[in-house]
């Protein structure tokens, strides 16, 4: 079992901008496997490499009920976003037990590489579109709670910092 440690907000490493993957090789494929295992065990529906302290542009997503439809996005890039926006309640493995409403484009087109290094494009809507945008935000050093009001953000930081101190 290669479960990776997930960084918890407000860890400053969550704000590092991930670098593009130069070559999709066995090291990256192992990272994808470890990230998927970590995401499923957590349990979550998406995980960015930044969240496991690897600052390369890799995300894994599985929004299926059966938890057997893993999607891998290496060097993902949103090439189009709808002007229509929708509010979704989001959560995050790096911000445990915190859920809040975030407004995002309701449809996106994304271009990426798969775990074989082959390029693909995907049109996504609803939950998949939200998840892709959420995970790409991680690669760009942004956490979903940073879309919230400064007051909500400060309350969340305080709550999570207290939780960390109580474990020490």
Question: Of these residues, 77, 121, 135, 146, which one is catalytic?
Answer: 135
pLDDT for res 13: 98
Q: Is the pLDDT of residue 1 over 60?
A: no
Tokens of 157: 């930081």
Model confidence, pTM: 0.94
Q: Is the pLDDT of residue 2 over 70?
A: no
Q: Identify whether 135 is a catalytic site residue.
A: yes
Is the C-alpha dihedral spanning 24, 66, 131, 152 positive or negative?
Answer: negative
Averaged confidence pLDDT in the chain: 95
CATH number, span 12-167: 3.90.45.10
Rounded (5°) CA angle 52-158-59: 20
Of 168 and 74, more confident: 74
Residue 53 to residue 81: CA distance in whole angstroms: 28
Residue set of the binding site: 92, 134, 138
Structure tokens at 75: 């060097």
Share of the chain above pLDDT 90, in %: 89
Q: What percent of the chain has pLDDT over 70?
A: 98
Q: Could you list the residues known to form a binding site for Fe cation, using ranges.
A: 92, 134, 138
Residue 167: which pLDDT band, with cuts at 50, 70 and 90? confident
Stretch 85-94: mean pLDDT: 96
Residue closest to 54 by CA, chosen among 95, 79, 80, 21: 21
44 pLDDT tier (thresholds 50, 70, 90): very high
* 12 contacts: CB under 8 Å, gap ≥ 6: none
């Amino acid at each position: 079992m290669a479960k990776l440690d997930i960084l918890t907000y407000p860890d400053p490493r969550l704000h590092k901008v991930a670098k593009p993957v130069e070559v999709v090789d066995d090291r990256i494929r192992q990272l994808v496997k470890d990230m998927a295992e970590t995401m499923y065990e957590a349990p979550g529906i998406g995980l960015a490499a930044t969240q496991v302290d690897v600052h390369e542009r890799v995300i894994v997503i599985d929004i299926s009920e059966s938890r057997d439809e893993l999607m891998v996005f290496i060097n993902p890039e949103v090439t189009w976003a709808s002007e229509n926006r929708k509010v979704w309640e989001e959560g995050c493995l790096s911000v445990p037990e915190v859920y809040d409403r975030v407004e995002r484009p309701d449809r996106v087109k994304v271009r990426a590489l798969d775990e074989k290094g082959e390029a693909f494009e995907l049109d996504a809507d609803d939950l998949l579109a939200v998840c892709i945008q959420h995970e790409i935000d991680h690669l760009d050093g942004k956490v979903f709670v940073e879309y919230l009001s400064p007051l909500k953000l400060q309350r969340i930081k305080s709550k999570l910092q207290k939780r960390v101190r109580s474990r020490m």
